[in-house]
Amino acid sequence: MKVCFLTHDIDPKSGWGRYSGEIIKGLERRGIEADILVEEKLTSGSEKAVLKTNLPKFFGFLHMALKVRRLAKRCEIIHAFDAWPYGVIAALANIGLSKKLIINGVGTYSVLPLDSRKTRWILSWAYRRADSVPCISNFTMEEIKKRINLNTLEVITLGVDFEKFNRTEGYKDNLINNRNTIISVGAIKRRKGYHVSLQVISKINEKYPDIKYYIVGNKTEDPLYAKELENIINKHSLSDNVEFFENINDSKLCELYDEANVFMLPSINVEGAFEGFGLVYLEANAKGVPVIGTLGCGAEDAIKDGYSGFLVPQNNIEETAQAVLKILDDKEFALRMSRNAILWAKSNSWDTVIDKYINIYKKLEGDN
């Protein structure tokens, strides 16, 4: 079976690229032939950068759809890894081809265009043309349901490369050596809640003055927000506690996870934008690191509250700090949660995710 995939990129250094790249790679291992169409070619792989145009939005969509259409003729299924813009482009490309169409509901751009009169009509049309709309979290699915009635929705959460990130020992050593390190991984933008986490670090610093906080993400994505974070660091005298890491590879990322006691990413919903899931919570869990995320977003599916970590209210510095201190203050509890985190990550491997996509493909193939 040949599938035409539409996505932004498959670069594992970005959350977007890791999500789509891991699914495609897993499907290829199961015998699926992939034609990968991307907006930006950021790896040395076989993907084709055709999802870009200089034309105005609607004409640009038509232009890209024509390019996709030529390539999709050779495939049985067209699979778009987000609704906007790739799901719309895929649906336009599929007019007259009648290929089976899958549009993933991911996060912000699977929902927010449904709130605009300018874009609601065409995204609603694309969703209704899809044979399957798998969403990466229950939160994303429910947000779509609030805006459009579909009977093709289901939830297939994201996974983790367990073998790559897993460690069986090491977390205990951090506790024995009284190493207190917190890590966050994600794009430097307001939705990730770094302005909240820095204020949490300021509170924890009162009890643990040796606390280290690693932020892994590129400041170039939102320079104004990065500047705001620097101001918070200076205001609370945290320059000795906080360290930024940019453009690192997975080997270095694993090293940083190995040093951490707690993973914290207190995502917030900002003007319709929200955390669709949070792959990084599972990666940290695979390393045995308990995680802290927020309620009211896709992290509710990524974190098993009280087991693999904690879910706290958004924008709540006090409750987030209390959750961190529960782990730092009680080494036996921290070690127990670390073991749980590993089990949780193992139960959410990419192999489990790929099984579910294979089942969708087989069902759609049987419907032909």
At 169-201, the pLDDT tens digits run 667 777 666 779 999 999 999 999 999 999 999
Residues 118 and 26 both lie in one domain: yes
pLDDT at 176: 63
Averaged pLDDT, 315-322: 98
Number of domains in the chain: 2
Cα angle value 138/19/49 (rounded, 5°): 130
Answer whether residue 156 shows pLDDT above 80.
Answer: yes
Residues 219 and 116 both lie in one domain: no
Residues 311 and 194 both lie in one domain: yes
Question: In this structure, are residues 106 and 116 in contact, taking their beta carbons and an 8 Å threshold?
Answer: no
pLDDT at 168: 60
State which residues form the domain around 183.
162-346
| Mean pLDDT of all residues belonging to the chain | 94
Question: In this structure, are residues 40 and 116 in contact, taking their beta carbons and an 8 Å threshold?
Answer: no
Residues 271 and 252 both lie in one domain: yes
Residues 203 and 79 both lie in one domain: no
Q: For the chain, what is the total number of helices (H) and then of strands (E)?
A: 16, 13
Neighbouring residues of 89: CB distance < 8 A, sequence distance ≥ 6: 6, 51, 61, 64, 65, 68, 80
At 235-257, the pLDDT tens digits run 999 999 999 999 999 999 999 99
Residues 318 and 217 both lie in one domain: yes
pLDDT at 177: 66
Residues 132 and 117 both lie in one domain: yes
Answer whether residue 346 shows pLDDT above 70.
Answer: yes
Residues 306 and 219 both lie in one domain: yes
Where residue 63 sits, what CATH number does that domain have?
A: 3.40.50.2000
Residues 58 and 125 both lie in one domain: yes
Which comes out higher in pLDDT, residue 366 or 197? 197
DSSP state of 357: H
- 206 by Cβ neighbours in 10 Å (0-12 / 13-18 / 19+) ranks as exposed
pLDDT at 255: 92
Could you tell me the pLDDT band of residue 366, with boundaries at 50, 70 and 90?
confident
Residues 220 and 187 both lie in one domain: yes
pLDDT at 31: 96
Q: What six digits make up the tokens of 118?
A: 């300018």
Lowest mean pLDDT among 102-111, 145-154, 161-170: 161-170
Answer whether residue 5 shows pLDDT above 80.
Answer: yes
At 87-97, the pLDDT tens digits run 999 999 999 99
Q: Which long-range contacts (CB under 8 A, 24 or more apart) does 322-325 make?
A: 323/292, 324/182, 324/200, 324/204, 324/262, 324/264, 324/292, 325/204, 325/207
Averaged pLDDT, 42-70: 88
Averaged pLDDT, 7-33: 92
Q: If DSSP codes are grouped into helix, strand and coil, which group holds residue 95?
A: coil
Neighbouring residues of 163: CB distance < 8 A, sequence distance ≥ 6: none
Answer whether residue 16 shows pLDDT above 80.
Answer: yes
Answer whether residue 260 shows pLDDT above 70.
Answer: yes
Averaged pLDDT, 60-71: 94
Averaged pLDDT, 72-88: 96
Residues 26 and 43 both lie in one domain: yes
Which comes out higher in pLDDT, residue 140 or 57? 140
Q: What torsion do the CA atoms of 288, 308, 163, 155 make, to the nearest 10 degrees?
A: -160
Residues 142 and 222 both lie in one domain: no
Short-list 78, 86, 83, CA closest to 39: 86
Averaged pLDDT, 273-281: 96
Averaged pLDDT, 47-57: 86
d(CA 276, CA 148): 18
At 100-124, the pLDDT tens digits run 999 999 999 999 999 999 999 999 9
